[in-house]
Amino acid sequence: MRESAALRAALAAATDDRIFFDLTGIEAQYAALMRELPGVAVRFAMKACPVDEVLACLAGQGAGFDAASPREIERALRTGVPADRIHYGNTIKSDENIADAHRLGIRDFATDSVEDVAAIARFAPGSRVFCRLATSGEGALWGLSQKFGCSADDAVRVLQAARDAGLTPSGLSVHVGSQQMTAEAWRAALDDLTDLVGLLNARGILLDTINLGGGLPALGCLDKRGRPLDPPLDKMFAVLREGMQRLREESASPLAFLMEPGRHLVADHGAIRARVSRLTTRCRPDGGPGHWLYLSCGKFNGLYEMDALQYRLEFPGHAAGRRVPAVIAGPTCDSDDAYDHASGHVQVPAEAASGDPVWVHSCGAYAVGYTTRGFNGFDPLPYTCIGGAR
């Protein structure tokens, strides 16, 4: 996926290390999602890009927010969106968290246990709850299948407990895993949701909302072997539209639909201008790759997700010339601060020298949120936002 001319111009003009966010590209991505899934309300997963300008951009397009803590709720409210366009999507909440969210005006809470329901009833009386149904996570780069969600039987108990406690058992939610690569995962989740809606109908629990969660993929990164990711987006959207229709037909009450996209909206519209620290050649006793390219940014200040994917690199000063295979690593003294240590398959310029600019593409998701405060003294990257509606 090619970045916009404006984003490439910003990278070319930069004289220091920084991440750029293309707000015009993000707006276009949001509009494209709305064309594919008309009528579905977006609650942007704030963790994917906690940048005020990005949040304000999406709020201006009509998005609300999926917040995971009171501090995220406060940040979302600062964009000017009303509290009813923000939901507390984290099933893990302390009593204090729930009370603070309620004080801030939040009335929609995700949950997956009767214990959490009891706390919501006590500290956020009268609120609406969404029970998160577990998924397998199969087909995703990050499956999210262990920590969150409950079985269908537990979901019935959770929503019955919510009704008994004076809360509104409003809906169900799922998450098929981050950077989901298959349409089948969506189909399986929608099948489970449809079956569960039927069970709830029989018990007189009539839902008003289905939250289809996150998981929609970005397009611009590579897999661990350097091959382009090729998620079947068109098929995913078709499965989602068909599944929503089946849910409407199954439900005994009218249903609204939400989604919580994160990386799908921002990943391919962010890029880092970094530098080469050093290209080295060194023999290893195990016969491993001999070339290592060290960058000025890495896992702890912008490229946290390097464990699961590979970022596309561009060397603007070396459009031609001989390439050598190398392991890519960040600048810190932590051995985890590197792409797949064993493969050494990334092709890099043989003449790369310290200080040469490097463009890291499709890294607009999680580049800011996962950054440390300055591990080993390497500062978080500053950022600049370009474009967008004014």
DSSP state of 27: H
> What is the C-alpha separation between 129 and 134, in angstroms, rounded?
16
Q: Which two tokens stand for residue 253?
A: 């009450």
Low-confidence spans in the chain with pLDDT less than 70: 1, 284-289, 340-343, 390
Known catalytic residue at 49 = no
What residues contact residue 174 under an 8 Å CB cut-off, 6+ apart?
132, 133, 135, 149, 189, 192, 193, 211, 212, 213
Q: Number of helices and strands (H, E) in the chain?
A: 10, 18
Sorted by where each starts, the structural domains of the chain and their CATH numbers stand as 23-264 (3.20.20.10), 268-386 (2.40.37.10)
How many other C-beta atoms are found inside a 10 Å radius of the C-beta of residue 92?
A: 14
Q: How far apart are CA 177 and CA 175, in angstroms?
A: 6
- On the 0-12 / 13-18 / 19+ scale of CB atoms within 10 A, 218 is buried
Query: What distance in Å separates the CA atoms of residue 230 and residue 219, rounded to the nearest whole number?
Result: 7
Query: Given this model, what pLDDT does residue 143 score?
Result: 83
Please report the pLDDT score of residue 341 as a whole number: 62
Element (H, E) at 280: strand 270-281
Tell me the H-state helices in the chain. 5-13, 23-36, 52-61, 70-78, 95-103, 114-123, 152-164, 183-202, 233-250, 263-266
* Per-residue pLDDT at 163: 97
Tell me the sheet residues that pair with 292. Answer: 280, 327
Name residue 65's beta-bridge partners: 44, 86
Task: Give the CB-side neighbour count of residue 212, counting CA atoms within 13 A.
Answer: 28
DSSP reduced 3-state for 385: strand
Paired tokens of 80? 């000017």
> How long, in residues, is the chain?
390
Selection from 182, 91, 89 nearest residue 137 by Cα: 182
Which one from 221, 283, 297, 333 is the annotated catalytic residue? 333
Residue among 301, 303, 292 nearest 342 (CA)? 292
Question: Residue 199 and residue 278: Cα distance in Å, rounded?
Answer: 61
The whole-model pTM stands at: 0.95
Q: Using alpha carbons, select from 354, 335, 346, 338 the residue that is nearest to residue 303.
A: 338
